[in-house]
Every structure is written in structure tokens, then in C-alpha cells.
Amino acid sequence: MKASVSDQNNLIELQRIDSAIMQATHKLKTLPEREQLTAIHTRLAASAELLTAAEAELTDVTIDLRRSEVDVESVADRMTKDEARLSGGSASPKELEQLQHEIATLAKRKAELEDGELEIMMKVDAAKEKVATIKSDEEGLKKLELELNIRLENAVTELDREVALKKSERTLLVPKIDTALIDVYEKVRANGGGIGAALLIGNTCDGCRLAINAVEMERIKSLDSEEVLRCEECRRILVRI
Ligand SMILES: [Zn+2]
């Protein structure tokens, strides 16, 4: 098969364009932001679950605290009433003794209840702190998500532009090359991992990076420059510099 030197050079240019399209397309599919966003979404879902549980716990301990406050108030009320009767002066000596005993019992009870209330208050504070921490983590994750989305969008726009540019270059270049040569190139490219044409650099095929043996090199040197060469190893079209 023969092709003009200009066609062969254009084929190498076409290969550069196709390689650039292939690289940009691969980058588009494997942008790290996609994986990072998936990880953020997993963490956000876990955080939402934690928040639901922490808020339920806060509601529970807040109810406990209210109950405890009511208990303390009711004991305090009874003590106030007893103390009023005690200082009222109308009670009999036996009643006075009973009242004093009851007040002492109530005071002990009140102290116990207040200790319990303090413990619950600490639980409420801890639950509030937990909710706040989860919310702040969530905010941080959402901020990161936003940044990643912007970065992803920018990267996609940039790569889409690159692909569109290279495709338009391709559209302009292809009609300048002989159709038969393009056909061979496309077939080889489909089987050659996207590389259909490579330069012959020294005695090395730039497609498979293997050295061409001395006998074959001698044969190549004797061939007309319009003769289309193929690498014996990878079958790619070889273009002499
Ligand atoms: Zn090769």
C-alpha cells in the first residue's frame, strides 16, 4: 500500500488528535471529584442518621429534666405549706412534731431530687453538644460537597471543550487524508488500544516501543518513502520521521 508522505504525516497528526480525545474522555470518566462526592454522600447519610438519634435523645432527656423540675417544685411547695403551718402557731405540740419530721423528710427528698436534676441537666448539655457537633460536621461536609461540585463542573466543562476542539480539528483533517489509509488506520486503532499509527524513531516503533531487527530496518531503508510501513510486532502503521 502506498500513501503520500504528506498523508502519512497527517495520519500522525490525526493520531495525536485521537489520543488527545481518548485521554480527555478517560479523564472525564475518572475525575477524582466523582469518587470524592460519593464518599461525601455516604458520610452525609451517616451523619443524618446520627443527627436523628441525637435529637431523639435530646428530646428524651429534656422531657426527663422537665419531669424532674416538676418533682422538685412539688416537694418545695409541700415544704412551704408545712413551714407556713409550723410558723402559724395553731398546730398542737404533736402536730408540730409531725410537721418538723415531715419537713426534715421533705428536705432530704428535695436534696436527692435536686442531685438527680443536676445529673439530668448534665445529660441535656451533653445531648445538646452532640447535636451541635453533628450539625457542624454536616455543615462542613455540605460546604465540601459544594466545592467539589464546582470543581467537578469546571473540570467537565474544560474537558468537554477540549474534546469538542479536538473533534473539530479531526473533522478538518480527515478529508485531507486518503480514505484507504484512514480505513487501515481505523482498523488498527480499534485493535491497538486506540493507537493506529506511530512514528519510527531510530529503529524503534513508537507504538509498541519495540526495536525493529536489523534485517527489517535494512528492508525499510530500501523502500520508497510513499510505501506504507507496518510494525511487525504491533501491526501499527509506521511513519518515518
Ligand atoms: Zn510496533
User: What tens digit of pLDDT does each residue of 124-169 get?
Assistant: 999 999 999 999 999 999 999 999 999 999 999 999 999 999 999 9
- The reported pLDDT for the residue numbered 90 is 83
CA of 2 to the centre of ligand 1 (A): 19
- With a CB cutoff of 8 Å and minimum separation 6, the contacts of 212 are 200, 203, 204, 205, 220, 231, 232, 233
At 90 the three-state DSSP class reads coil
- The reported pLDDT for the residue numbered 30 is 96
Grid cell listed for 120 = 439530668
User: What tens digit of pLDDT does each residue of 207-222 get?
Assistant: 999 999 999 999 999 9
Domains of the chain: 5-25+178-240 (no CATH), 31-164 (1.10.287.1700)
CA of 12 to the centre of ligand 1 (A): 14
What's the burial of 218, exposed, middle or buried (CB within 10 Å: 0-12/13-18/19+)? exposed
CA of 204 to the centre of ligand 1 (A): 8
Q: What's the rounded Cα separation, in Å, for the pair 208 and 159? A: 27
CA of 231 to the centre of ligand 1 (A): 5
Other CB atoms within 10 A of residue 42 CB: 10
- The reported pLDDT for the residue numbered 88 is 87
The residues placing their C-beta within 5 Å of ligand 1, an ion, are 205, 207-208, 231, 233-234
CA of 235 to the centre of ligand 1 (A): 6
CA of 103 to the centre of ligand 1 (A): 103
CA of 221 to the centre of ligand 1 (A): 17
Between the alpha carbon of residue 211 and those of residues 62, 206, 234, the distances in Å are: 79, 9, 11
- The reported pLDDT for the residue numbered 89 is 79
Which DSSP state fits 182?
H
pLDDT below 70 — which residues of the chain?
none
CA of 198 to the centre of ligand 1 (A): 8
Q: Are 234 and 192 in contact (CB under 8 A)?
A: yes
